[in-house]
Amino acid sequence: MTEPTRIRAQAVGDKANVRILMAHEMETGQRKDASGNLVPAWYINDVSISHNGKVIMTTQWGSAVSKNPYLQFNLKGAKAGDKLRLTWKDTKGVSRTDEATVT
């Protein structure tokens, strides 16, 4: 199991500032280990974010995204108490879902 995704969402007026930190190694498949062998590619390739059950963003990533990806965005119409859910899936088929409440 992977570490929990850190989701922080703070309401400011009629929007929320959302910050997300995902714990993942994000291997490109181009790095070599100590023996000189290529480390296989392993990265998050699908991300979906929903607000109160409605999908607001989906992304498809490649190997160029850095280790422990960080997202930040403003969400219009969000208020304290609203629910956010983030789901990601990586190239090995591992997936994770985490939720947070807007404060």
The pTM (predicted TM-score) of the whole model is 0.86
Structure tokens at 17: 């500032």
Share of the chain above pLDDT 90, in %: 92
The helix/strand count (H/E) of the chain reads as: 0, 7
For 45-65, what is each residue's pLDDT tens digit? 999 999 999 999 999 999 999
Q: Return all residues near 1 (Cβ < 8 A) that are at least 6 apart.
A: none
Would the pLDDT of 1 be above 60?
A: no
Would the pLDDT of 12 be above 60?
A: yes
Share of the chain above pLDDT 70, in %: 99
Q: Where are the domains of the chain?
A: 6-30+38-101
CATH topology of domain 6-30+38-101: Immunoglobulin-like (2.60.40)
Burial of 77 (0-12, 13-18, 19+ CB in 10 A): exposed
